[in-house]
Structure 1
């Protein structure tokens, strides 16, 4: 599993203080608002260009990705300059607080380029043990998932509702998502297929939106491989706050990226994990 490169200080900031938690949540909301303002002018705009970051395939980055991360970094420079930053598009910024913001300005750039509203902005706050708070924000639909520091909620255009992942059900009644049909290596694809063949319904695409649906109680599983820390830290915080479970394919911590299994509850997580590993 790829290990996270967190620019954290030697000491650890203790969260749980009401004033500090409120400050963190306020900073995260400001980050998400800034990313909305930066991304929406580009979405479904004519002539949006993309650079390719992968010579062997297609890993696009757009002006909107860069603008959103720049906007979020500017917010942190003003509101939380003592914290570290790990972002997708720009260099790590060391911090002194023991806390690191993990930012993905557009998770699902391919969807963004295609005009599909299944991309999102991912914002997580990590301490030395991993994510403690996360936001999955969809600027176009106006949906914002929030998890950790006493919060587990989805705020939409018309209402705010508590997040609660689905209860246990047999694997043959489960709904499973992954972003890319190939999943990863041929071996990883074969492992995913073992689970998919037992699930009732398998769907593809959605990027971070699928993790939001786990937290919302709509689906049961997301299985992916080849992820980076900025792809998964925010979903971990949101899903765990809703009662779900997120690990790697061995059942260990997933905030470093790599292979990720997100599940609505411990029972279906255990069933999927067993099948993934040939059980």
Structure 2
């Protein structure tokens, strides 16, 4: 697998080579992340979406346009769903899910805890994900048919673990703590771990889970772009991924075998 960590390359009118899904996914996130980082250095126009911590920038929009242009060139028959509004109906059942800047609040705050992420789903439960962290230079690719790799090197396969002995990566917007239907399962699962990490980029969290840094990640009500790229990485590392309904909300859970079962049991109470 070749990974280019330089600046985004010009998009040709016609593809000069047939990139594999793996190489294309890596190029998409590296190009998008590099573009977003450069735009951040130049200064950003920030717009609020739903709350003070839910924002979007011109970098999100530009990075998503860059990804969709590349996909139109290299995979014109594939569908596309982008966080910032892209919706392309494909000619068959392959679809790319795009999160051009995951962790936008961190991004605009100057933190390095953000990434660009994509996932490709297809027939027979095919799933491929790619995540790139521009500030650290890390690129993760993996999925149902390829072991997860970090900068081209396979990660150590995940082994069974105990949630009580590991960290839990999660996120809950503070206003939701007032809703017992969310707060109670959140408190139960949080107390079951050795410690919690709540930094606000689901795809970065899940890449860390795939590398064995966290035992489990869980979050409620995830859109596809916050779940599928990282889920693919955890799948490709030998982890367990599941969704469980609690009090009318879907919770998305991924991590080490056994530890995921423990987290699900705590969520359910």
Normalised by the shorter chain, which TM-score bucket?
0.7 to 0.9
CA contact (8 A) 2:155 2:211 kept: yes
Q: Cα offset for 1:53? A: 1.7
Q: For 2:31, which of 30, 34, 37 is the aligned residue?
A: 34
Identify the residue that residue 164 of structure 1 maps to in structure 2: 156
Q: Is residue 2:262 matched to residue 1:271?
A: yes
Counterpart mapping for 1:1-279 below 5 A: 23-43=20-40, 45=41, 47-54=43-50, 58-128=53-123, 132-148=127-143, 149-155=145-151, 160-180=152-172, 182=174, 184=176, 185-207=179-201, 208-250=203-245, 258-265=250-257, 267-278=258-269
**Taking structure 1 as the reference length, what is the TM-score of the superposition?**
0.81
- 1:150 to 1:91, Cα distance in 2 relative to 1, 3 A: closer
Structure 2, unmatched stretches of 5+, are 1-17
- 1:228 to 1:183, Cα distance in 2 relative to 1, 3 A: farther
Provide the rounded CA distance (Å) in 2 between the counterparts of 1:84 and 1:176.
33
With 103-112 and 119-128 compared, the bigger mean Cα shift is at 119-128
Identify the residue that residue 10 of structure 1 maps to in structure 2: none
Structure 1, unmatched stretches of 5+, are 1-19, 252-256
- Alignment size in residue pairs: 247
Q: Cα offset for 1:181? A: 5.7
Q: Cα offset for 1:192? A: 1.6
Provide the rounded CA distance (Å) in 2 between the counterparts of 1:118 and 1:79.
29
Provide the rounded CA distance (Å) in 1 between the counterparts of 2:133 and 2:242.
24
CA contact (8 A) 1:131 1:237 kept: no
Identify the residue that residue 254 of structure 1 maps to in structure 2: none
**Taking structure 2 as the reference length, what is the TM-score of the superposition?**
0.84
Q: Deviations over 1:133-171 (max 9, x none)?
A: 00011112110111123231001xxxx432235422333
Provide the rounded CA distance (Å) in 2 between the counterparts of 1:236 and 1:197.
24
Name the Cα RMSD after superposition.
2.4
Provide the rounded CA distance (Å) in 1 between the counterparts of 2:67 and 2:228.
16
Provide the rounded CA distance (Å) in 2 between the counterparts of 1:24 and 1:169.
32
CA contact (8 A) 1:181 1:204 kept: no
Provide the rounded CA distance (Å) in 1 between the counterparts of 2:124 and 2:134.
29
